[in-house]
A = this chain, B = another copy of it.
């Protein structure tokens, strides 16, 4: 959000994407965007990968809620905020490759709500307002490891997010985003989860199991127990996609390449006698691979081997010196086919902080309040 100078004021913010470890799938209230289950995510470093985007569908709801909070402060004794009368010019930009299929609306709404809160001087739990824009946007309000508690109240007042641990808690954790070549036209997650709630018997079993799973992943995060972290993350991703397949008509986000990546990850872990890598898939075919910093060169070597690609920009993000000489023994992977160019590119990132205010020099609007 940015407004040109003089009798205008502007704020420029950026906001990170987040990837769910325990997935959000299914609403108990469509209008208030209240989830059927709590979820856990990790916020990704926006220096490497972030995005801004906006859709108009739920925009008015978000703006009016922020203004309501601003008015409430005024009633509570503060000075009236004349900015409430001002006109808003909003400009948004997405610097994350849309091909990566990360929920752009989550980062976009987190960014908008954060920027509006700075503009109007609103404090308090803005994640509830971000949720009204896009459910999982509420998790992008925090950095590091985040839990979105589903809450039980009808009005959603207890459906809130909190940080499990900051991004500095587990500095060795790394994320490789594998952008696959066989992108398909997917069912929008909003529509998809609605159909699952209506038709999938298996969703109910999933909902019963999530609380225990959340306790286990919280423990794994706090103890930096990568092996358990990986197992729970992979199982939850698989279960989400199982529920999608049990939906009628079925929803399928995973492609042959996604399944190939899953098979490769399990082979790496089996060869290592302990989990070295974990995958997670959102509403699309791209893989989010988690691993520890020390294992990044090995995993990159294996990915180069199975998905050969001569693109000089194949690996993006955090730099890892090339030719790692990790001496992987590929006889352990003899069952797995090499598929040239199965991946478009890989983004290397790590857990990161929540939204932040940017220097105005980076603003997206001209002095006249129009997009540059």
A interface, CB within 8 angstroms of B: 182, 185, 201-202, 204-206, 209, 231, 234-235, 238-239, 241-243, 245-250, 252, 255-256, 259, 262, 266, 335
B contact residues around A266 at 8 Å (CB): 249
Whether A242 touches B202, Cβ cut-off 8 Å, given contacts A234-B248, A235-B248, A249-B266, is: yes
10 A-B residue pairs with CB within 8 Å: A201-B205, A202-B202, A202-B239, A202-B243, A235-B248, A238-B250, A239-B246, A242-B243, A242-B245, A256-B256
The docked-state distance in angstroms from the alpha carbon of A249 to that of B238 is 9
Given contacts A202-B239, A202-B243, A238-B248, 13 further A-B pairs with CB under 8 A are A182-B256, A201-B206, A201-B239, A202-B205, A202-B206, A235-B248, A238-B245, A241-B245, A242-B246, A245-B245, A249-B266, A250-B262, A255-B256
In the complex, which residues of chain B have a beta carbon less than 8 angstroms from the beta carbon of A205? 201-202, 204-205
> Whose C-beta in chain B lies nearest to the C-beta of A270?
B249
In the complex the two chains form, what is the Cα distance from A266 to B247 in whole Å? 13
Q: A249–B231 Cα gap in the complex (Å)? A: 10
- List chain B residues, Cβ under 8 A from A256: 182, 255-256
A246 touches B238 (CB 8 A): yes
Given the complex, which residues of B lie within 8 Å of A238, measured CB to CB?
245-248, 250
By a CB distance below 8 angstroms, the chain B residues around A209 are 201
Give CA–CA (A204, B206) in the complex, Å: 11
Rounded to whole angstroms, the CA-CA distance of A256 and B266 in the bound complex is 21
CB-CB < 8 A to A202: which residues of B?
202, 205-206, 239, 242-243, 246
Min CB–CB distance A319 → chain B (angstroms): 32
Closest residue of chain B to A212 (Cβ to Cβ) is B201
Contacts of A335 on B, CB cut-off 8 Å? 185
Contacts of A182 in B (CB 8 A): 256
- State A243–B239 Cα separation when bound (angstroms): 8
A239 to B234, CA, bound (A): 19
**A249 to chain B: which residues have CB within 8 Å?**
262, 266
Pairs A-B, 6 closest by C-beta atoms: A205-B205, A242-B246, A242-B242, A242-B245, A249-B266, A202-B202
Cα-based distance from A205 to B239 in the complex (angstroms): 13
Chain B contacts for A201, CB-based, 8 A:
205-206, 209, 239
When chains A and B are docked, how far (Å) is the Cα of A201 from the Cα of B209? 8
Give Cα A243 to B182, complex, Å: 24
Report how far A182 CA is from B255 CA in the complex, Å: 13
CA distance A235 to B199 in the complex (A): 10
User: Cβ of A255: which chain B residues have Cβ within 8 Å of it?
Assistant: 256
A202 closest partner in B (C-beta): B202
- Smallest CB separation, A274 vs chain B (Å): 14
- CB-defined contacts of A259 to chain B, threshold 8 Å: 252
Kindly provide the distance from the CB of A92 to the nearest chain B CB, expressed in whole angstroms. 29
Most chain B CB within 10 A, of A201, A231, A259, A335, is at A201
In the bound assembly, the distance between CA atoms of A202 and B247 in angstroms comes to 13
The smallest C-beta distance from A251 to any residue of chain B, in angstroms, reads 10
Q: How far is the CA of A250 from the CA of B205 in the complex (A)?
A: 18
List the B side residues contacting A231 at CB < 8 Å.
248
Q: How far is the CA of A53 from the CA of B195 in the complex (A)?
A: 42
A243 nearest CB neighbor, chain B only: B242
Most buried by B among A206, A250, A335: A250
Residues of B within 8 A of A185 (CB): 335
Residues of B within 8 Å of A243, CB to CB, are 202, 242
CA distance A79 to B255 in the complex (A): 62
